[in-house]
C-alpha cells in the first residue's frame, strides 16, 4: 500500500515538464496517482518528462499543452481530464514566470503576463475543478506560491503581487470549501535547486571566480539562513503529504520550505 494512498486519484500539475512541477509530478506518481503533466517544451523534453513520471509509478500519465494564459484552454484541459478520469482530484497550481526590474522601469506587458500566469490562471483552474470535486466529496488543491507570497524583495513587484494574491486566493478557497472534503493549501519555497537556479549559480561563479558550491552558498544565504536550497523532491514530498488523509484538517495554510527565510 502506498504511504499516502493516492491510488485511484487523478492529479493535474501545471508547469510540470521541468523543475518544481516535475518534482511534484514524480512524488504523486510515486504514490500511485494518475498524473497529468502540463507545460511547454520540445517533443524530447515532454517525452522525457512523461517517461520519468511513468517510471516513478503513475497509474496513467497524460500530457496537456494547455496555455495557462488562455482560460478557454484551461477549461478544455480540465474537461478532457474529467471526461477520461471523472474528476481532477488533485490540482497543483505551479506554472509561473518571472521578470526582475524596478517598478519605474517594469514593462507593462511583463506585469500583465506575470499576473495572468501566476495568479489569474490559479483562479481559472480552481474554478474549473471545484464542481467535480464537490460532487465527489473529496479534493486537494495545492498552490505553489513562494516565500514571496509572504515577504517582498526589490525589483520583483509583479511576482510578489501575484504570489501574495495566490495566498489570498488559497485562504478564500479553503473557507469556501470547508466541510466539503476539499482542502486548499499553499507551499512557499525559497530558493529551490532547479536547472534555472543552477544556471544562475554557474553565471555568478563565472563572474566572481568562485566554484559552484561557493557561489551557490553566497547566493542562497543572502535570503536563506540555512545556506542551502530546497530540492524539488522536498516540495514533492510536502505536496504528497497535503494530499493525504493525515492532512484532511489542514486547509488555508502556507507551508514555508525556505531554510528560515521568512522567520527573519
Q: Is 107 in a helix, a strand, or coil?
A: coil
**Active-site residue flag, 159:** yes
**pTM for the full model?**
0.96
- Pick from 28, 8, 86, 74: nearest CA to 232: 28
- Pick from 58, 23, 129, 142: nearest CA to 92: 142
> What pLDDT score was predicted for residue 1?
44
Catalytic residue among 63, 85, 111, 159: 159
- Pick from 174, 167, 189, 178: nearest CA to 238: 189
**Rounded Cα gap, residues 52 and 225, in angstroms:** 33
The kind and range of the H/E element at 234 are helix 232-242
> What pLDDT score was predicted for residue 2?
53
**Rounded Cα gap, residues 147 and 138, in angstroms:** 28
> What pLDDT score was predicted for residue 3?
56
What is the pLDDT tens value at each position of the chain, 264 positions in all? 455 689 999 999 999 999 999 999 999 999 999 999 999 999 999 999 999 999 999 999 999 999 999 999 999 999 999 999 999 999 999 999 999 999 999 999 999 999 999 999 999 999 999 999 999 999 999 999 999 999 999 999 999 999 999 999 999 999 999 999 999 999 999 999 998 899 999 999 999 999 999 999 999 999 999 999 999 999 999 999 999 999 999 999 999 999 999 999
Strand order in the sheet with 182-189: 61-64, 34-38, 10-13, 90-93, 139-144, 182-189, 254-257
Amino acid at each position: 500500500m502506498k504511504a499516502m494512498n493516492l491510488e485511484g486519484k487523478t492529479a493535474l500539475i501545471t508547469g510540470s515538464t521541468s523543475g518544481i512541477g516535475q518534482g511534484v509530478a514524480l512524488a504523486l506518481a510515486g504514490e500511485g496517482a494518475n498524473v497529468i503533466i502540463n507545460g511547454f517544451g520540445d517533443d524530447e523534453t515532454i517525452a522525457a518528462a512523461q517517461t520519468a513520471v511513468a517510471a516513478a509509478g503513475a497509474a496513467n500519465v497524460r500530457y496537456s499543452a494547455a496555455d495557462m494564459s488562455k482560460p478557454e484552454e484551461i477549461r478544455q484541459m480540465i474537461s478532457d481530464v474529467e471526461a477520461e478520469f471523472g474528476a481532477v482530484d488533485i490540482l497543483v497550481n505551479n506554472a509561473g514566470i518571472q521578470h526582475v526590474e524596478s517598478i519605474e522601469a517594469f514593462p507593462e506587458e511583463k506585469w500583465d503576463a506575470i499576473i495572468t500566469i501566476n495568479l489569474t490562471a490559479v483562479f481559472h483552474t480552481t474554478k474549473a475543478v471545484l464542481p467535480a470535486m464537490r460532487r465527489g466529496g473529496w479534493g486537494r488543491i495545492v498552490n505553489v506560491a513562494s516565500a514571496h507570497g509572504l515577504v517582498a524583495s526589490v525589483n520583483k513587484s509583479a511576482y510578489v503581487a501575484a504570489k501574495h494574491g495566490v495566498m489570498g486566493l488559497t485562504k478564500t478557497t479553503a473557507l469556501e470549501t470547508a466541510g466539503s472534503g476539499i482542502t486548499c493549501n499553499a507551499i512557499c519555497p525559497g530558493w529551490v535547486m532547479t536547472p534555472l537556479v543552477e544556471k544562475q549559480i554557474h553565471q555568478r561563479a563565472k563572474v566572481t571566480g568562485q566554484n559552484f558550491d561557493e557561489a551557490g552558498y553566497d547566493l542562497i544565504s543572502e535570503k536563506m539562513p540555512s545556506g542551502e536550497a530546497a530540492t524539488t523532491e522536498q516540495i514533492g514530498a510536502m505536496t504528497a503529504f497535503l494530499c493525504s488523509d493525515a492532512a484532511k484538517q489542514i486547509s488555508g495554510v502556507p507551508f514555508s520550505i525556505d531554510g528560515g527565510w521568512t522567520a527573519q
